Chain A
Amino acid sequence: MKHARIVITGVGLTAPNGNSLTEFRKNLLTGVAGIERLDVRYMGSLLAGVCHYDPLKYQKKKDVRVGTRAGSISVYCAREALADSGIDFTTVPKDRVGIYIGCTEHGNVETENEIFNISKFNYDTKYWSHYHNPRTVANNPAGETSLHLGSTGPAYTIGAACAAGNMGLIHAAQMLRLGEVDFAIGGGVSESIHTFGIFAGFKSQNALATHEDPKRASRPFDLARNGIVVSEGGCLYTLERLEDAQARGAKIYAEIAGYCVNSDASDYVLPNPARQAECIRKALAQAGLKPADIHIVNTHATATPLGDIQECEAIRAVFGEGCPDTHINNTKSFIGHCMGAAGALELAGNLPSFNDLTVHPTINVDNLDPLCALPGLVLNQPRQVAKVDTILNNSFGMLGINSTLIVKRFVP
């Protein structure tokens, strides 16, 4: 079956180290991480990736008060992406716009806030907020975005643990190909740092990173890595069918080349390298590419002792030693784990490589774990390379969901 060609025409993001693609990319190339100390309810001072975008750039104060952090991040990213795309949104039929936002989880923040709130009233539920339900429904971030934009087409979230950011993009591409919509906004967001539960959960798993220097805490592949830094963030893209993008003379960042989503079916939390490798191989097959055709592999690695090794095992199984032009990096070393936004943000940070032929490194690797010593790993300093025509982006999540997305340089 011949599919329509889908292209990325706009990027809007907020990351712990940047509120635009330009700022984010600059910091990825100059080694600037964005991790800081955050006071977390019941737990005290913890390391986290906090975004510092201006919510009032696009929202009213009341919208920020009534809505959720994930909704606010979504609105910011969507508006930034639309502005970046150059489209005159007033001319776009609003019922043909699809909004597809990946989330790791949603609702925990507001539920925790309300339980804390009623704890001050002897747990009397008459003090429970009437906003609780619209804030906690799983479609909230997409719904707030559709409300803000006045778009009346499908708008919903995709729950896919930490594979969700890729899933937002993949789903957008699928809906464009099916002809369900003519213009899509897709990616992922996370508000997770505002829930103590995610920190406490990772801590109980012995998977929460600690380090005296926050900016060095997230260190995938380093021998001394000791877990995840939880972060918030968002990255939404505008996606269009190629002919529509060309008809309006749009700038094109990249073309969707192929993807795969599969499931481990083996454990609640432990990754499965065999299924991860299968996911990568199937994405390559769909893209019609061989492993050696991939120039950048952006890893999912979160800096857990076992997870990094297992992803390296999967990558080694696919790429082996025979891919001299394949360069491997990781973005979480700069921004921590942005959960539902991770896949989308991490892809965005690599897109400028098509133009500057530079691969951003993974930082904070003082002593490379021999079990993570992949050929092509770009450590601590950016690498100038001869060719970047393809980027493969891995994002994996709990309950064994894997996603691999491949984008390629747009060639008419």
Chain B
Amino acid sequence: MTKDECKKVVLDIIADIAPDEDLSNVKPDVRLRDQLQLDSMDFLDIVMELRKRHGIEVPEAEYQQLASLDSSAEYLTPKFNALAAKS
């Protein structure tokens, strides 16, 4: 998985949990909370959907890695690739 593909995975999840938001111009380097109406429960949703859909675990201490699309891709892409290598 590339980092761009990883961003797409995250955006797909956000599209489901924040269906009123326009995601066409999300800036990858800006904190998601600063450009979208997302609260702490929504971030728990992102964590839950990563777990349910992709088998990816994000420990609580590392939630801040999901702050922006760029940081999410940086953090999650190796996890996706490690998972793919295992299977």
**A residues whose Cβ falls under 8 Å from a Cβ of B:** 60-62, 65-66, 121, 126-127, 129-131
- Please encode chain B, from 43 to 74, with 1 for each CB lying within 8 Å of some chain A CB and 0 for all others: 01100100110000000000000000000000
B41 A65 Cβ-Cβ under 8 A: no
12 contacts between A and B (CB under 8 A): A60-B20, A61-B19, A61-B20, A62-B18, A62-B19, A62-B20, A62-B37, A65-B17, A66-B41, A121-B52, A127-B51, A129-B48
Main secondary structure of the interface of B (DSSP, over half): helix
B8 CB to closest chain A CB (Å) equals 21
Chain A residues contacting B19 (CB-CB under 8 Å) are 61-62, 65
Range class of the B interface residue count: 10 to 19
Distance A65 CA – B41 CA, assembled complex (angstroms): 12
B16 to chain A, nearest CB (A): 8
Q: Is the CB of A130 within 8 A of B48?
A: yes
Given A60-B20, A65-B19, decide whether A127 and B41 contact each other with a Cβ distance below 8 A. no
Judge whether A131 and B41 touch: CB under 8 Å. Answer: yes
Chain B residues with a Cβ under 8 A of chain A = 17-20, 37, 41, 44-45, 48, 51-52
Contact across chains for A126 and B51 when beta carbons are under 8 A apart:
yes
Q: What secondary structure prevails in chain A residues at the interface with B?
A: helix
Q: Which residues of B contact A127 (CB under 8 A)?
A: 48, 51-52
5 smallest beta-carbon distances between A and B, as pairs: A61-B19, A130-B44, A60-B20, A61-B20, A62-B20
Residues of A within 8 A of B45 (CB): 130
Most A CB within 10 A of own CB, among B19, B20, B52: B20
Chain B residues with CB under 8 Å of A66's CB are 41
In whole Å, how far is B11's beta carbon from the nearest beta carbon of chain A? 16
How near does chain A come to B69, taking the closest CB pair, in angstroms? 19
Chain A residues contacting B51 (CB-CB under 8 Å) are 126-127
Contacts of A62 in B (CB 8 A): 17-20, 37
Nearest residue (CB) in B for A127 is B52
Task: State in angstroms the CA–CA spacing of A60 and B22 once bound together.
Answer: 13
Closest to B38 in A: A62
CB distance from A397 to the nearest CB of B (A): 34
